[in-house]
Structures are given as C-alpha cells and as structure tokens.
C-alpha cells in the first residue's frame, strides 16, 4: 500500500480532529481547535499525516526539545507525543510509514534521540512489530522506547 506522508496543515483539521479526540486527554476541545493551526506552523513540532489520496489514515506528533544546555545538539531529544492510525487502516503499514517520517524529521533537525512511552496493551506490541525495542519504564503498564541516531560527526 502506498501512502503520502506529509506535514499536517490547518486545512486537515476536519480529519485530524476525531483522531486527536480519540487519543484522549483533551482538556478543552475549543482550545485544541484554536491552537492546532499554530502547532502546524511551529518549527519545533513535527505534525505528520499519512494520506491515501485525500483521506487521512493516521498522524504522528513529535516535539523537538531543542539544544541541551550543556551539550548543545550532541544530546538533543525529541519526544513522540502521538502516533495514531484509524482502526480500519491498522496493520497496513500506516504506523510504520509515519514512524519512518518521524525519524526523517528528527534526523533533519538534528536530533540525537527520539523518545516515547507506550502502553503494553496495544501500543508497545505495534512498535515492537515495527522493530523498536521497549525497555522497562518504571511506570506500570508502559514501556520506554528510544531511537538513538548516534553521535554527530
């Protein structure tokens, strides 16, 4: 299956809104709608969508924390906040395509690490099928994942 993965835009709001709500933890839906366009434009956020034609199948949201105070870019980190795939599009490579796009986004920043936590019920097994290796997180029911791109030349 072929997907186009591209940055999300304010025009994608209608399709991404139900996904954001399904992810949960939305304190105020009106505030989310108001801030979404500005997050699309922020250079420190990677909001990426996987499209099949005009249909959004899933999205990823990652945040570059910027330079480290002591080490500059040598230990620069990004955090993967969300990876969501529509239920009818799961196990079709959408999540894998989004993760590869997150990796490309991170390498271009330059980020040394991408980190995230995933629940052990459904999310961790999906990441592990993609080849990522989880580690104990210290939080019951979650694994810690990290991509280490290695030191910069």
Lowest mean pLDDT among 12-26, 62-76, 121-135: 62-76
Task: Say if residue 153's pLDDT is above 60.
Answer: no
State how far the Cα of 78 lies from the Cα of 90, in Å rounded to an integer. 25
DSSP letters, 117-149, are EEETTTHHHHHHHTT---EE-SSTTEEEEEEE-
State how far the Cα of 130 lies from the Cα of 153, in Å rounded to an integer. 27
**Domains defined along the chain, listed by start:** 4-112 (3.40.630.30)
Q: What is the mean pLDDT of residues 104-109?
A: 95
Task: Say if residue 39's pLDDT is above 70.
Answer: yes
* Other beta carbons less than 10 A from residue 16's beta carbon: 21
pTM of the complete model: 0.94
* Other beta carbons less than 10 A from residue 132's beta carbon: 17
Q: Higher pLDDT residue, 73 or 57? A: 57
Nearby residues of 129 by Cβ (< 8 Å), 6 or more positions away = none
């Amino acid at each position: 299956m072929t997907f186009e993965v591209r940055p999300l835009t304010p025009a994608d709001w209608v399709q991404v809104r139900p996904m954001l709500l399904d992810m949960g933890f939305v304190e105020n839906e009106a505030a989310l709608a108001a801030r979404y366009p500005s997050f699309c434009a922020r250079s420190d956020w990677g909001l990426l969508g996987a499209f099949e034609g005009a249909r959004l199948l899933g999205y990823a949201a990652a945040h570059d924390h910027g330079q480290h105070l002591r080490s500059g870019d040598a230990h620069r980190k990004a955090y993967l906040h969300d990876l969501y795939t529509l239920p009818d599009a799961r196990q079709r490579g959408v999540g894998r395509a989004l993760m590869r796009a997150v990796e490309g986004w991170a390498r271009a920043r330059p980020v040394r690490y991408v980190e995230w936590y995933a629940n052990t019920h459904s999310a961790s097994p999906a990441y592990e099928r993609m080849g990522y290796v989880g580690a104990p997180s210290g939080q019951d029911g979650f694994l810690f994942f990290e991509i280490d791109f290695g030191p910069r030349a």
